[in-house]
Chain A
Amino acid sequence: MAEVFTKTAARNIYIGGSVFFILFFLGLTFETVRSMPTRDHRENLTESVARGKLLWEENNCIGCHSLMGEGAYFAPELGNVFQRRGMANEQAFKGFLKGWMDAQPLNVPGRRAMPQFNLNADEVNDLADFLIWTSNIDNNNWPPNIEG
């Protein structure tokens, strides 16, 4: 084909372009991972926070809720529930969360229902620590307001 833009040219753009952007992306990832400690405050990531994350996962909380805007959209955002329901006070929040988990399901006819997960006091405490830690990640000030 006597065309200016040949198949070979297209292939070279594909290969050159993808190699370039893969390397660029790896570089950005390296930078992001290196700068993350100042953003996620991992010095506060205690064993309790880690256990809380595992509980969060093993009960599939993300199947209904969002966390920092990701997950399902069936139930409220929990990345800032520490501020919303605990007024950013650890004791208040932990008290709230224990009461909340124990009260489920609320059994209001027709209302979206949250299951009873049968967590003990230590487990709810870990879960609370995980949510508190999460709420302190520097995420460029999302969400726009307290309602999430």
Chain B
Amino acid sequence: MKFESQAVAKPYFVFALLLFALQIVFGLIIGLQYVVGDFLFPYIPFNAARMVHTNLLIVWLLFGFMGAAYYLVPEEAGVELYSVKLAKILFWVFAAAGVLTVAGYLLVPYAKLAAFTKNEWFPTMGREFLEQPTIAKVGIVVVALGFLFNIGMTILQGRKTVINTVLITGLLGLALMFLFSFYNPENLALDKYFWWWVVHLWVEGVWELIMGSILAFVLIKTTGVDREVIEKWLYVIIAMALITGIIGTGHHYYWIGPKPYWLWLGSFFSALEPIPFFAMTVFAFNMVFKRRRNHPNRAALLWAMGTGVMAFLGAGVWGFLHTLAPVNYLTHGSQITAAHGHMAFYGAYAMINLTIISYAMPVLRGQGEAASPKAQVVEMWGFWLMTVSMVFITLFLTGAGILQVWLQRLPDASNALSFMDTMDQLAVFFWMREIAGVGFFIGLLCYFSSFFVGAKSTSTVAFNG
């Protein structure tokens, strides 16, 4: 570790991974409810478990981004973090808010949680991904402000590199767009229009800046390629991301109220959105081929290349698949959407977090530049099991989606199957998805165990400390 204060990243990473595990457990629960409809009913209804699954995803990704920033910003800026104490306090505030929110989802009916947190004073609850009680949303904003202040001051006091500038721009954008979660008009059409300013402008906008800068950082460190080259790539990637992704928001405006010209705008610009993701793949592979050193952390390099490929497949290919308006007319809100959502979130944002965690954890745990070769082998097993399982989850959901469109959407009204009857026809795909999900979970266990093998002397000490 170059700077003491980087150590504060560790609890963020550890907690992120714990929430990730819990996210997958709930994924398996709702995956099973898809075929065994009354599983755990009425104790954990589908909607509650789904909220836990998706909200944990977002929260662990945010923990990971924060950990990444605490780790890489001091190193890039060449100074200690502005305030380690603030970072520690915010960790506990965010962790407490997260745990309380999830406990609320599971322990009381949602309407009770809404009443208890006085949602009627300032209604923001009950919209997909933004289900948190208003007070919890305020908590997120407070944590984000404190975090941005801390990171911002660090950068101001030190070197302003392209990487840390792009990272903080992305993080500022993340916080800024989240403010739209407080805008919830009585008019559903307007509500939906601005809801996408959080969801789409996150994953197909500012988060790409965060992802690009983390990837650039890890590639500089592990390949030793000239910073100038890497920074130029980073600019190209984020330029393409924003040029295509901002108007690309239009691919969500086809069928929720806005005028038909969005069909053209959304189709055109979002069809170009795969470009930045493709650039990231080429970037990662190029830098690895041009490497000037052989970094001992081969697992981190595998994650870095893997996130390039999987983000391109999930966001680029599976996104393109259903983004043109005539296709989206048939696939909108089907299992195709779920297929894409899974591979894109995993490939881009779960994997970029696992990349920086893989790179930073050995350093944070005092193992030197890399974990033992044995631990790395186990970690790479985790990589392959999770990634291949996710490919299968995506393929099975895509199969389900195509059949759903065929049975329910394409026929005329008198021949189309109802939604519920269609679901019965898709059961075999959902069973296979669930089996692939179990594969994913085994991969996750394998990944976790890599932290405990091969380095007995240091690992236990470091993990407790």
**B128 x A21 contact (CB < 8 A):** no
**B416 x A147 contact (CB < 8 A):** yes
Within 8 A of A (CB), among B405-423: 408-413, 416-420, 422-423
Binds A, one of B1-9, B248-256, B283-291, B370-378: B248-256
Residues of B within 8 A of A121 (CB): none
Given contacts A7-B235, A113-B41, A144-B410, contact A72 B190 (CB under 8 A): no
Contact of A36 among B30, B45, B257, B419 (CB under 8 A): B257
Given contacts A60-B110, A60-B131, contact A40 B236 (CB under 8 A): no
Residues of A within 8 A of B256 (CB): 68-70, 137, 139
Residues of B within 8 A of A137 (CB): 188-189, 256-257
**B259 x A69 contact (CB < 8 A):** no
Which A residue sits closest to B49, measured CB to CB?
A: A63
**B47 x A72 contact (CB < 8 A):** yes
Given contacts A6-B232, A18-B242, contact A69 B260 (CB under 8 A): no
- Does A86 reach chain B (CB closer than 8 Å)? no
**A143 x B188 contact (CB < 8 A):** no
Which A residue sits closest to B400, measured CB to CB?
A: A73
**B189 x A36 contact (CB < 8 A):** yes
Given contacts A7-B232, A10-B239, A36-B189, contact A57 B46 (CB under 8 A): no
**A39 x B188 contact (CB < 8 A):** no
Given contacts A1-B228, A137-B257, A148-B419, contact A71 B239 (CB under 8 A): no
**A 55-78 to B, binary, CB cutoff 8 A, 1 in contact else 0:** 011111111101111111111110
A6–B162 Cα distance when bound, in Å, is 14
Contact of B37 among A11, A25, A111, A138 (CB under 8 A): A111
Chain A interfacial residues counted at CB < 8 A:
72
**B128 x A70 contact (CB < 8 A):** yes
**B255 x A140 contact (CB < 8 A):** yes
| Residue of A24, A29, A139 ringed by the most chain B CB atoms within 10 A | A139
**A42 x B128 contact (CB < 8 A):** no
- Does A91 reach chain B (CB closer than 8 Å)? no
Q: How far is the CB of B230 from chain A (nearest CB, A)?
A: 10
Q: How far is the CB of B241 from chain A (nearest CB, A)?
A: 9
A144–B410 Cα distance when bound, in Å, is 7
Given contacts A13-B239, A58-B111, contact A112 B48 (CB under 8 A): no
**B 26-69 to A, binary, CB cutoff 8 A, 1 in contact else 0:** 00001001101110011001111011000000000000000000
Residues of B within 8 A of A70 (CB): 128, 192, 256, 333
**A115 x B239 contact (CB < 8 A):** no
- Does B84 reach chain A (CB closer than 8 Å)? no
Residues of B within 8 A of A147 (CB): 408-409, 413, 416-419, 422
Contact of A57 among B123, B190, B423 (CB under 8 A): B123
Given contacts A21-B246, A146-B416, contact A64 B47 (CB under 8 A): yes
Contact of B260 among A14, A111, A134, A140 (CB under 8 A): A140
A24–B244 Cα distance when bound, in Å, is 12
- Does A120 reach chain B (CB closer than 8 Å)? no
Given contacts A10-B235, A60-B126, A63-B47, contact A74 B416 (CB under 8 A): no
A99–B30 Cα distance when bound, in Å, is 27
**B255 x A63 contact (CB < 8 A):** no
Which B residue sits closest to A119, measured CB to CB?
A: B111
- Does B76 reach chain A (CB closer than 8 Å)? no
Which A residue sits closest to B422, measured CB to CB?
A: A147
Residues of B within 8 A of A57 (CB): 114, 119, 123, 125-127, 184
Contact of A145 among B42, B45, B126, B411 (CB under 8 A): B411
**B51 x A60 contact (CB < 8 A):** yes
| Residue of A1, A25, A45, A58 ringed by the most chain B CB atoms within 10 A | A58
- Does B265 reach chain A (CB closer than 8 Å)? yes
Known: A18-B243, A40-B257. 15 other contacts (CB 8 A): A6-B232, A21-B246, A32-B259, A57-B119, A58-B119, A58-B123, A59-B110, A59-B111, A60-B48, A111-B38, A112-B423, A139-B255, A143-B255, A146-B416, A147-B413
Task: Sample 27 A-B pairs with CB under 8 A, ordered by A number.
Answer: A1-B228, A11-B235, A18-B239, A21-B243, A25-B247, A32-B262, A36-B189, A36-B257, A36-B258, A49-B186, A56-B126, A57-B125, A57-B127, A58-B115, A58-B119, A59-B110, A62-B47, A62-B128, A70-B333, A73-B334, A76-B419, A110-B36, A112-B37, A112-B46, A140-B255, A140-B260, A147-B422
